[in-house]
Amino acid sequence: AQREDFVAGLPKAELHLHIEGSLEPELMFALAQRNAIDIPFASVEEVRAAYAFSNLQDFLDIYYQGMSVLRTEQDFHDLTMAYFQRVHRDQVRHAEIFFDPQGHTERGVSFDTAISGTLRAMDDAKSDLGISSHLIMCFLRHLSEEDAFATLEQAEPWLDRILGVGLDSSELGHPPSKFVNVFARARDKGLKCVAHAGEEGPPAYVREALDSLKIDRLDHGNRSLEDGELVKRLAEEGMTLTVCPLSNLALCVVDDLRQHPLKKMLDAGLRATINSDDPSYFGGYMNDNFLRTAEALDLTADEIVTLAKNGFSGSFEDAEFQTRAL
């Protein structure tokens, strides 16, 4: 209980959060009703029962289906505001949020509808809750690089409100190098670059994310540990890894939290952070991720503080913010 209060009270920054993955079943039902959309579930309990995954693709199938209830600017606002209200309780002070524009444009919801509702909630979270945030637009890697270029084009009028680009969705078979040109274009436009790599994919995908995409931050990165040279490089470069323990458990990246590589990452000198990924689907927000990981790995108070600090120092905020926060 002492550890619980300590973890709960620490200020936190979340660096790996898909806003569409924070859609709680209750809101899914409310939006389905508001928009007269049929969903293949009879109750909130039925939705939660469907959240049993064997791998990333299992989850993604349900995740893309879940977002079908998001249609209007207000829907995106309500989704995003619900996330901020929830993590305000977890002492989250700053969030760098992913969104998946192609998950919406593919089903006829415009880029502008999705981003404007999300941004309005981000503004409200700053003024009403004191939580600062940024938006990172992800490309769906199971789609083509040409599709990613079209998405970057749609983002053009919004570039002053977009911090960076990311790469998510089905990893295996879609290596980072597939997107080398669109990431180069994004970087030319002054956008930060991040990518999911080494969640299910091999260490070679992490190397590609570094060498081809020239990422500023690595999302997941778990499988980097299979490659000692790569670990050394990540440590030397001071690369931040946005690790998501309850996600890894839910998607069978690890069989048991006690086998989670987070402690090994810290021991190897990697700048690891704790994040929730898709909290509605994976069973916990920031405090749950911190607490369950700390218990499973028997983390010390120093290690817990380091993880929280790494969230701020790994953010894209300036040095003054990074040190003031903790």
Output the six-digit token pair for 86: 């929830």
Q: How far is the CB of 167 from ligand ES4 (least distance, A)?
A: 9
Annotation marks residue 320 as catalytic: no
Our CB check for ligand ES4 shows the closer of 115 and 167 to be 167
**C-alpha distance from residue 85 to each of 82, 115, 130, 254, 258 (Å):** 5, 19, 11, 30, 30
User: Applying CB under 5 A, which of residues 277, 287, 293, 314 lies at the interface with Zn ion?
Assistant: 277
Does the footprint of ligand ES4 cover residue 169 (CB under 6 A)? yes
In sequence order, which residues have a C-beta less than 8 Å from that of residue 49 and are 6 or more positions away? none
Annotated binding residue 147? no
Does the footprint of ligand ES4 cover residue 18 (CB under 6 A)? yes
User: Applying CB under 6 A, which of residues 75, 96, 277, 317 lies at the interface with ligand ES4?
Assistant: 277
Instruction: Give the residue from 55, 131, 64 showing the smallest Cα distance to 96.
Output: 131
Q: Please give the Cα distance from 212 to 13 (Å, whole number).
A: 28
Cα–Cα–Cα angle for 248, 256, 53, rounded to 5 degrees: 50
Q: Are β-strands 132-140 and 164-168 bridged in parallel, bridged antiparallel, or unpaired?
A: parallel
Q: How far is the CB of 43 from ligand ES4 (least distance, A)?
A: 24
Residue nearest to Zn ion as judged by C-beta position = 277
151 binds, among Zn ion, ligand ES4, none (CB under 5 to 8 A by kind): none
Cβ neighbours around 100 below 10 Å, total: 24
Residues 190-219 that bind Zn ion (CB under 5 A): none
Q: How far is the CB of 153 from ligand ES4 (least distance, A)?
A: 22
Largest CA distance in the chain: 54
Task: Look up residue 127 and give its DSSP letter.
Answer: I
User: Applying CB under 6 A, which of residues 7, 14, 21, 41 lies at the interface with ligand ES4?
Assistant: 21
Does the footprint of Zn ion cover residue 100 (CB under 5 A)? no
Interacting residues toward Zn ion by CB under 5 A:
277
Residue ranges at the known binding site for substrate = 278
Interacting residues toward ligand ES4 by CB under 6 A:
18, 21, 56, 63, 168-169, 196, 199, 247, 277-278
